[in-house]
Each structure stands twice: as structure tokens, then as C-alpha cells.
Amino acid sequence: MATHESDVTPISPELPAMFDGMKLAAVATVLYIIVRCLNLKSPTAPPDLTYQDTALNRFLLKSCHPLTKEYIPPLLWGKSGHLQTALYGKLGRVSSPNPCGVRKYLPMPDGATATFDLFEALGDHRTGDDITMVICPGIGNHSEKHYVRTFVDYAQKDGYRCAVLNHLGALPNIELTSPRMFTYGCTWEFGAMVGYIKRMYPQTKLIVVGFSLGGNIVCKFLGENMINQERVLCCVSVCQGYSALRAQETFLQWDHFRRFYNFLMADNMKKIILSHRHSLFGNSARLIDTELSRLYTATSLMQIDDTIMRKFHGHSSLKEYYEKESCVHYIHNVNVPLLLVNSADDPLVHDSLLNIPRTLAAKKPNVIFALTLHGGHLGFFKGAVLFPKPLTWMDKVIVGYANALCQWEKQKPKCQSDSLSDSSCGDEKD
């Protein structure tokens, strides 16, 4: 049937233009969200440093270049603390090596069995001395985690022996031998590992390293008793929160999705506890039912700590548990050189908690506090645009700081001179 011209409805010329405008608006909105979420407009900068002007600190900052150079994360995603944290959590590290170590078992007085992995140095240390890094990983972590393996391999190649604590109950193939597992600030297992290293290697000097929860443990360990600081050259703590009691309320807030991270970490803790349910709860069916019913319904670390964790050491309340196990009450007793590292975009550590290390560094001459703009929680990936490098800024800072401290100790009489010159103590290239 023929169509008359009068039957055709003409398309308004404004409609295509309107559709094009809607497309542009949608694209602009998506780009805006990407830029905001990925924080692409954020600048890069060297870490913000808090320290006292001493000869040692000047030497350390001069020798450990990553602390004073601009930290440049991968361009497309590295400025997002969430992506840095997520990639660390899921991928660990890129092309993670597999260092060969020997697992050691240490019986504890209460019947527990501590384990740690010992990795020998892959060459002589640059100072010619025997140096051991004693390492405490993050919550529920152990020597088989990718970020730990990457760091150990790097440290081994630089002449360090490494001893890595496996948190009690964290290794899925190691059964508990007592009704107790690791807690936020229990230093017993770390102390047992350090004691073993001191006995087996009477000439070795120690570099103490703690990641996240491990940072709390090592700082608390050193501050609990001055004897623990013997033969310790220095300590490095990365991404810890310093005070569980102060962090308690912030960890329930939704800003920076902190409450969501809390839920994920609580879920992981549930799995670890349930994998050891018989060792932890014994054969009392009533006790098991009571504890497990509370555990299953818990949606935060605080609920799990109150239901299960605080009871391992007989704490009467959650407040007492957090007070007694936080390093904030012990860290001021640490007199060896101490490097505290945090990231401003760490979604797990609230800004208010960073006043603790900042104040400490301003008061104590042995402390340097380094705060990066980016890095997330234990991320600190480096790279050009998209793909990160195997070694992170964090790896290089720890080893670089340790190298500088060992060099200072080797040349101490010369370096302690007030007239420290650029050439008197050497310089390590990054």
C-alpha cells in the first residue's frame, strides 16, 4: 500500500542532539566517578616525616632514599587506598617468590606450640656482620603469605637471615596443642622465637619487623621489658593502629567503608576459629553451643574479641583486653631506633590514631614517623601505569632503613661526630 507524504511523522532535529547530550552526560558522570574513586587527581609526594633533628636521624634519612623521595604508585589505580588494600589482600604480591626455609616448633609453658620459619641469608651482609630479621606478620597471617615471601626473599638476597612467626592457629595444616590461639597483643610466641634466635646465634644482631597487627605485637614486646631490647639494632612497624581501644569506635563507622572491612576480617577470623573448634572449646557440648552461637552471629571483630579472644588470657571485659594488649601503653619504653610507617589512605586505620606515632616521634629522638599519601593497608605498590612491580615501596623502605642502621652501627664512632659530613658515613644508592 502506498504511503502518503502526509502520513510520515518528521523527527524533530532537537532529538538527536538531546540523545547525544545524554550520552555525553553519562560518559562525564562515569569519568567523574572513576576519577573520584581512583583518586586520580591526588598528587604524589615524599612521605610526611616527623622526627627530631639528631645525627642518627639525619644519617638514616640521607641513606634510606625511599623515605625522602617521592612515592609514585601505579597511575591508574595506585592512588586508591581501597584498591591497594584489596590487591594486597587478594593477590598479595606480583610474581611472588618461594623462599626455602625450615619450620621450627617451640613448646610453650601453657602447652601451646609456637611455630616459625627460618630462612638463611643468601649471601654475606654488606657490613660483614651476622644480622637476623625477626618478623611478625599481620592478623591471621604466616610465612606462606605472598607479601611475607616477597619481603623475605628480598631481605635474604641483601644478606639477612629471616625468622617469620606463624601466628598461633593461622596455619591451616598445624593443629593447636592447647585451647588458645593468637590474639591482638600476645607477645609470648614472638618472644619465644626471639629467644630461640638469640640462643642459636649468640653473635647475631636483630632487626625487628612488624606488619599491621604484628607491628602492635613487636612494639609491645620491646616495651614490656628492657631485656627484650638487648641485641636489637632497630624496629620497623608498618600499618599498625597503636590502640585497639581507640580504634574500636572508628572500626564500626562506614566512612572509607571501614565497617565493611571489619565484617570481612571478622568473617576470616570465624573461619580460623572454627577450623580449631575442638582444640579451643574441648568436648563440652553446652560450652560449644553457647560460644559458637555467638560466633556465628558476630559481624565485627569486636564481637568476636568479646566472645572468644579476650577469654584466652582471662580478661574480664573487652575494654580491659584492648587496654592490656595495645602497644600504646608500652611503645614509649622502646629506646632502640624505631621507624613507624602508616598510609594516609589506609581504610583500616583512622586518621585520629596517627596522632599517637606523630606525638611519639616529636618527643623521642629515636623515633621516625613516616606517613605516605598513598599505599592503603600493606599495599604500597609501585609501577608506571597499570602493572605493579614485584617489590613494593614498603619492602625497599624496611631493607633500606635496616641497611642504614647497620652501617651506622658499624661506623658509629665516626658517625656520632657532630661534624657529620656528606662523605664521612658513605651513601647507599637506591
- Catalytically annotated residues: 212, 346, 377
d(CA 164, CA 119): 8
Alpha helices in 276-364 (DSSP H): 277-281, 285-297, 301-307, 318-325, 355-363
Phi, psi for 348 (deg, rounded to 5) = -95, -25
d(CA 70, CA 345): 16
Comparing C-alpha atoms, which of 401, 416, 409 is closest to residue 62? Answer: 401
Q: Looking at the chain, how many residues does it have?
A: 430
Q: What angle do CA 131, 135, 141 make, to 5 degrees?
A: 155
Phi, psi for 40 (deg, rounded to 5) = -65, -25
First to last CA, the chain: 83
H/E stretch holding 117 reads strand 113-119
Whether residue 374 contacts residue 71, with contact meaning beta carbons closer than 8 Å, is answered with: yes
Q: In Å, how far are 60, 328, 350 from 247, measured between CA atoms? A: 31, 12, 7
Q: What is the DSSP letter of 376?
A: T
Give the other-Cβ count within 10 Å of 172's Cβ. 12
d(CA 66, CA 68): 5
d(CA 403, CA 318): 40
Q: What is the DSSP letter of 373?
A: S
